[in-house]
C-alpha cells in the first residue's frame, strides 16, 4: 500500500513538472515570436515616419505595437511565475539534499570512529573467537565483512548526494540568473510601452483634416457593416418567430376544434397540447437539434477558434475608443495581415449573407445561435446558403481605407449581441 502511494505521488509530481516545462517552453516561443513581430513593426514605423502624410498609418502600427508589447509583458510575467515556482522547488530540494548529506556524514563518521577503535586484527580475531559456538562465530565474521561493505556503500552514497547537491545548486543559480534577465527585459518593455503610448498620443494630435475624413469614412463603413449584420440576424429571428407563431396558432386552432367537437357531442373537452410559451432569441436560433448541436460545438471551442487569417496582429480591439476627438465604436477586431491574405471561416456553418459595403465585401456565417462577420474583403469565394467548414477560405483581405494596410475586420455575435472575439480566438 505504501509503495502504491509513493508511486502515485511520483506520477503526479512528474506530470506537474512536465506540464510546467511545456508551459515554460511555450511561453518562451511566444515571447520570441512577439519580439520578431515587434521588430518588423519597428522597421515599418521607421519607414512610415519619413512620410509626414502617413500619420494614420503610424497610428495603426503604433496600436499594433502597443498591443503586442502588452502581450509580451504578460508572457514575461508568466515566465517569471514559472521560474519562481522552479526556484522554490529547487531551494527545497537543496535543503533536503543538504539534510540527507549531513545525516549520511554523521553516520559515516560514527562508523569510521568504530572502525578506528577496532582496527587491529587481534581485536577482530578476539571478537570472532569469543563466540559461544561455530554458528555465532560465522555470523560475527559475516557482520565484520558486511560492515566493511556498508562503509564503502555509505562513502559512495555521500559522494553521490554531494554531486546531486552541487548540480541542484548550479541549476538554482542558473534559474535565478534567468529570472533576473527576464525582469530586466520586462522593465525595458514597460519603459518602451510608455514611450510608444506617448508617440501614439502625439501622432493622434497631428492628424490632418484629410486623415480625419478618412477616419470618418471608416466609421461609415463600420456603421454599414453593423447595420447589415443586425438586419440579417433580425431577419433570421423574425423568420423563426413567425414560424413559432404559426405553430402556436395551429395549436390554438386544434384546441378550439377539439373543444367545439366535444361540446357538440356533449362530452368534456379533450386534453390537447398546450401552447408553447414565447421563446428567447437563443431558443429560436437553437430550435432544431442540428442548430443546437452546432451552437454547443461552437461554444465548446471558446478560446480555441482559429484566426480568420493565418498571420496577423490586432490593430484595434473591441469596444469604444477615441482618436483626436473622434469617437468610434468597434464591434470586433481589426486584424492587420499580409497583402492578398486569404480570409477563412473560424468554424463550420452556413453563409447567411454576402454583401458589398461601400466598395468592399462582407460575409456573415451562421453557427446556430452564433454569427461571425468578416468585412473589408477584396474578393469572396462563397455565396449565401453555402455550407463552409473550419478554416475554409471564403475570400481575400482588402486594403484599409485609411492606412492602405491589408486588414480584415472580424466580429462575433451571440443571438444578436456583439461579443469580444478576442476571448474566443486561440492564443498565438
Is residue 203 in some structural domain? Answer: no
Residue after which a domain boundary falls, among 134, 163, 198 = 198
Instruction: Please give the Cα distance from 10 to 35 (Å, whole number).
Output: 37
Count of domains for the chain: 2
Residue after which a domain boundary falls, among 144, 172, 198 = 198
Is residue 3 in some structural domain? Answer: no
Three-state SS at 155: helix
pLDDT the model gives residue 255: 73
Shared domain for 410 and 349, answered yes or no, is yes
Shared domain for 153 and 256, answered yes or no, is no
Is residue 9 in some structural domain? Answer: no
Residue written as cell 471608416? 218
Which has more pLDDT, 256 or 121? 256
List the one residue out of 34, 45, 303 whose CA is nearest residue 189. Answer: 34
Shared domain for 136 and 255, answered yes or no, is no
Domain coverage including residue 288: 210-428
List the one residue out of 72, 53, 29, 25 whose CA is nearest residue 313. Answer: 72
pLDDT the model gives residue 10: 43
Shared domain for 173 and 315, answered yes or no, is no
Q: What is the CATH number of the domain that holds 282?
A: 2.70.70.10
Shared domain for 181 and 217, answered yes or no, is no
Shared domain for 236 and 177, answered yes or no, is no
Shared domain for 218 and 76, answered yes or no, is no
> Taking a C-beta distance cutoff of 8 angstroms, is the pair 418, 332 a contact?
yes
Q: What is the CA radius of gyration of the chain?
A: 37
Residue written as cell 413567425? 242
Is residue 36 in some structural domain? Answer: yes
Is residue 6 in some structural domain? Answer: no
Instruction: Please give the Cα distance from 269 to 308 (Å, whole number).
Output: 58
Shared domain for 92 and 193, answered yes or no, is yes
Residue after which a domain boundary falls, among 167, 198, 229 = 198
Is residue 204 in some structural domain? Answer: no
Angle 386-389-391 from CA coordinates, rounded to 5° = 125
Is residue 1 in some structural domain? Answer: no
- Per residue in 7-33, pLDDT (tens digit) is 444 444 444 444 444 577 888 787 887
pTM > 0.85: yes or no: no
Shared domain for 364 and 261, answered yes or no, is yes
Q: What is the CATH number of the domain that holds 116?
A: 1.10.287
Shared domain for 181 and 240, answered yes or no, is no
Query: What integer best gives the mean pLDDT of the chain?
Result: 76
pLDDT the model gives residue 12: 42
Is residue 353 in some structural domain? Answer: yes
> Taking a C-beta distance cutoff of 8 angstroms, is the pair 75, 34 a contact?
yes
> Taking a C-beta distance cutoff of 8 angstroms, is the pair 70, 193 a contact?
yes
- Per residue in 165-191, pLDDT (tens digit) is 777 777 778 878 888 888 888 888 888
Element holding 353 (H helix, E strand): strand 349-357
- Per residue in 284-306, pLDDT (tens digit) is 888 888 999 999 999 999 999 99
Shared domain for 282 and 382, answered yes or no, is yes
Shared domain for 114 and 248, answered yes or no, is no
Amino acid at each position: 500500500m505504501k509503495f502504491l502511494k509513493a508511486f502515485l505521488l511520483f506520477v503526479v509530481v512528474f506530470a506537474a513538472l512536465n506540464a510546467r516545462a511545456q508551459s515554460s517552453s511555450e511561453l518562451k516561443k511566444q515571447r520570441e515570436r512577439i519580439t520578431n513581430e515587434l521588430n518588423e513593426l519597428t522597421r515599418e514605423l521607421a519607414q512610415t515616419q519619413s512620410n509626414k502624410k502617413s500619420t494614420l498609418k503610424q497610428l495603426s502600427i503604433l496600436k499594433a505595437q502597443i498591443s503586442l508589447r502588452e502581450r509580451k509583458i504578460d508572457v514575461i510575467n508568466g515566465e517569471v511565475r514559472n521560474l519562481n515556482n522552479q526556484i522554490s522547488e529547487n531551494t527545497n530540494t537543496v535543503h533536503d539534499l543538504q539534510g540527507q548529506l549531513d545525516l549520511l556524514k554523521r553516520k559515516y563518521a560514527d562508523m569510521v570512529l568504530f572502525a578506528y577503535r577496532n582496527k587491529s586484527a587481534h581485536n577482530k580475531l578476539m571478537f570472532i573467537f569469543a563466540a559461544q559456538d561455530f554458528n555465532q562465530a560465522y555470523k560475527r565474521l559475516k557482520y565484520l565483512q558486511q560492515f566493511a561493505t556498508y562503509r564503502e556503500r555509505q562513502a559512495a552514497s555521500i559522494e553521490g548526494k554531494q554531486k546531486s547537491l552541487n548540480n541542484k545548486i548550479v541549476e538554482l543559480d542558473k534559474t535565478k540568473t534567468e529570472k533576473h534577465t527576464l525582469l530586466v527585459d520586462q522593465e525595458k518593455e514597460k519603459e518602451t510601452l510608455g514611450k510608444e503610448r506617448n508617440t501614439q498620443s502625439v501622432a493622434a494630435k497631428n492628424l490632418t483634416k484629410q486623415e480625419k475624413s478618412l477616419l470618418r469614412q471608416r466609421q461609415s463603413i463600420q456603421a454599414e457593416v453593423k447595420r447589415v449584420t443586425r438586419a440579417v440576424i433580425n431577419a433570421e429571428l423574425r423568420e423563426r418567430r413567425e414560424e413559432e407563431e404559426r405553430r402556436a396558432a395551429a395549436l390554438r386552432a386544434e384546441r378550439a376544434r377539439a373543444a367545439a367537437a366535444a361540446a357538440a357531442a356533449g362530452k368534456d373537452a379533450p386534453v390537447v397540447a398546450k401552447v408553447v410559451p414565447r421563446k428567447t432569441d437563443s431558443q429560436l436560433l437553437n430550435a432544431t437539434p442540428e442548430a443546437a448541436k452546432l451552437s454547443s460545438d461552437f461554444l465548446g471551442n471558446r478560446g480555441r477558434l482559429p484566426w480568420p487569417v493565418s498571420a496577423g496582429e490586432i490593430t484595434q480591439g473591441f469596444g469604444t475608443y477615441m482618436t483626436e476627438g473622434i469617437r468610434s465604436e468597434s464591434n470586433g477586431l481589426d486584424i492587420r495581415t499580409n497583402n492578398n491574405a486569404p480570409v477563412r471561416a473560424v468554424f463550420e456553418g452556413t453563409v447567411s449573407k454576402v454583401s458589398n459595403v461601400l466598395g468592399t465585401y462582407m460575409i456573415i456565417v451562421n453557427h446556430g445561435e452564433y454569427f461571425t462577420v468578416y468585412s473589408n474583403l477584396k474578393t469572396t469565394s462563397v455565396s449565401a446558403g453555402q455550407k463552409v467548414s473550419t478554416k475554409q477560405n471564403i475570400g481575400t483581405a482588402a486594403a484599409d481605407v485609411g492606412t492602405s494596410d491589408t486588414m480584415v475586420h472580424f466580429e462575433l455575435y451571440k443571438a444578436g449581441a456583439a461579443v469580444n472575439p478576442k476571448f474566443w480566438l486561440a492564443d498565438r
